[in-house]
A and B are shown apart, each in its own frame.
Chain A
Amino acid sequence: MSDPKDFVAGVDSDQRRSPQRVVFVTRRTSAQVKANYEEQVQTYPEVLFRVVLAIEILAIVLVGMALLFNAPLEGIADPTHTPNPAKAPWYFLGLQELLHYFPPVVAGVLVPTMLIVSLVIIPYFNINIEAAGLFLHHRRRRLQIFYVTAIGLLVFLVAFHVYVAAVPSLIVAIAMIVAANSSPQSKSASCRYLSKKPMAWWVMTWFLFELIVLTAVGTFFRGPGWSWVLPWRS
């Protein structure tokens, strides 16, 4: 005789698929908890040991660097002479590269503020909670929005001669077009991979790509007067 249960107990910890869980308890049964068991270890000593080990390895690497390479120290500060080129620390060179093209209020105030604000709102940007691929739903409308945004951005960058930022944007845009024309059933693995990516992923990847390219250009390819140089011809 089969059990005439009118409910099914399920375990589901996927908050993307079921952000809210409802429990039904019928009259003849009591609430049943199926523990979501996952193997755990004690923080002390397992985690602390690994943390200490990781920091020790880091310390060894950094001490080695400190012994091998000297920190730069130039002549004493001289307000009557600007070194050429005057470069910021490497992690600000992406920003300095942008400063070369745009007025300070855009590159120095607007862009950083927008970056910080978008970083802060990322986790609250819940429109796509399922993290479904960008072009899998509402494909037509989203493609239209994408084309308008991408072409607008590219025209803007080219109009200001910011080819350094336009090239990575173009590559990301091409990858997005590939994603739009593939589906999770596509033959090639990379097409399948791209098609599943949500919008936040695309924005962040674009940001990462621009950050790397702009920083690398500012660090290695800019010489006196912020003109192009090749790093091996210094």
Chain B
Amino acid sequence: MADEKQHASTTAKGELNRRAFFAKIGLGSLGIAAVGTAGFAYQFLSPNVLYEPSPIVNLGKPEDFAVDSVTMDPNAGIYLVHTSEGYFALSAVCTHLGCLTAWNQELGMIKCPCHGSEFTRTGVKIEGPAPKPLPWLRTWVSDEGDLMVDRSTDIHPLQYLRI
């Protein structure tokens, strides 16, 4: 009996009968269709056009920012800092979970209201759960002499813009 069983299984392994063949074709095509559907769903679900504000903002004349000042633009979600070394722009969006931080003038630091992260005005984390410092953003002066900030481009810290 053991021999018979073994024999039957070898033939089943060796040659494909019609039923198994069609079952495999059916399941295979279903699998291909499922992968295609997943790809299609992914494409459909990611919008191609976003009605979001432009990442480039115009902050006006550099002279409007006094030396040793931190100015927040809440609409753009950035800080413009003017130190003796020069200008730089800092993202105001907390690197932890995206809350908007606020500049605390008395303590001289940036604080996040959500989970208590604290940063210096150069973006370095002092305390709290934030995993990264606040990123520095690309800043330049336009042809009209306005300060421009690109919120979508991070630069390495301590690259001051001197005017």
- A/B touching: CB–CB < 8 A: yes
**B115 is an interface residue with CB less than 8 A from chain A:** yes
Interface string of A194-232 (1 = CB under 8 A from B): 000000000000000000000000000000111100000
- CB neighbours (8 Å) of B128 from chain A are 100
A167 CB to closest chain B CB (Å) equals: 19
Do B113 and A84 have beta carbons less than 8 Å apart?
yes
Interface segment among A11-19, A31-39, A101-109, A140-148: the answer is A101-109
A82/B97 in contact, CB under 8 A: no
Q: Which residues of B contact A104 (CB under 8 A)?
A: 96-97, 129, 131
Instruction: Name B113's contact: one of A80, A96, A225 (CB within 8 Å).
Output: A225
Q: In the complex, A83→B115 CA distance in Å?
A: 12
Q: Select the residue from B96, B100, B101, B115 with max chain A CB neighbours within 10 A.
A: B115
Contact B114 A80 (CB under 8 A): no
> Is B82 engaged at the interface, CB distance under 8 Å to the other chain?
no
B contacts with A, residue count (CB < 8 A): 18
| CA A101 to CA B99, docked complex, whole Å | 16
B157 within 8 A of A: no
The CA-CA distance from A183 to B75 in the complex, in Å, is 66
Please report the C-alpha to C-alpha distance between residue A36 and residue B41 in the assembled complex, in whole angstroms: 54
Residue A99 CB within 8 A of the other chain: yes
Question: B138 to chain A: which residues have CB within 8 Å?
Answer: none
A224's partner among B77, B101, B113 (CB-CB below 8 A) is: B113
- A187 in the interface (beta carbon within 8 A): no
Query: Could you say which residues of chain A place their CB within 8 Å of the CB of B99?
Result: 82, 86
Chain A residues positioned under 8 Å from B77 (CB to CB): 79-80
With a CB–CB cut-off of 8 A, which chain A residues contact B96?
99, 104
Pick the residue among B74, B75, B115 that contacts A100 (CB under 8 A): B115
Among residues of B, the one whose C-beta sits closest to the C-beta of A80 is B74
Q: How far is the CA of A99 from the CA of B97 in the complex (A)?
A: 9
Kindly identify which residue among B111, B112, B129 contacts A102, using a CB–CB cutoff of 8 Å.
B129
* B114→A86 contact, CB < 8 A: yes
Cα distance A227–B118 in the bound complex, in angstroms: 12
- Asked if B116 CB lies within 8 Å of chain A CBs, one says yes
Q: Does A112 contact B (CB under 8 A)?
A: no
Report the bound CA distance from A79 to B116 in whole Å. 19
- Residues of A near B112 (CB, < 8 A) are 225
* Residues of chain B in range 85-124 having any CB-CB distance to chain A below 8 Å: 96-97, 99-102, 111-116
Contact B116 A100 (CB under 8 A): yes
Residues of A within 8 A of B114 (CB): 82, 85-86, 226
Specify which chain A residues have a CB less than 8 angstroms from the CB of B111 in the assembled complex.
Answer: 225
Binary contact track A48-88/B, C-beta < 8 Å → 1, others 0: 00000000000000000000000000000001111111100
Chain B residues contacting A99 (CB-CB under 8 Å) are 96-97, 115, 129
Q: B residues within 8 A CB of A101?
A: 129
Nearest CB in chain A to that of B128: its residue: A100
Closest to A225 in B: B116
Pull 14 A–B residue pairs with CB atoms less than 8 Å apart, ordered by A.
A82-B99, A82-B102, A99-B96, A99-B97, A100-B129, A101-B129, A102-B129, A103-B129, A103-B131, A104-B97, A104-B131, A224-B113, A225-B116, A226-B113
- Top-3 shortest CB links A-B: A84-B113, A80-B74, A226-B116
Mark A residues whose CB is within 8 Å of B: 79-86, 96, 99-105, 107-108, 224-227
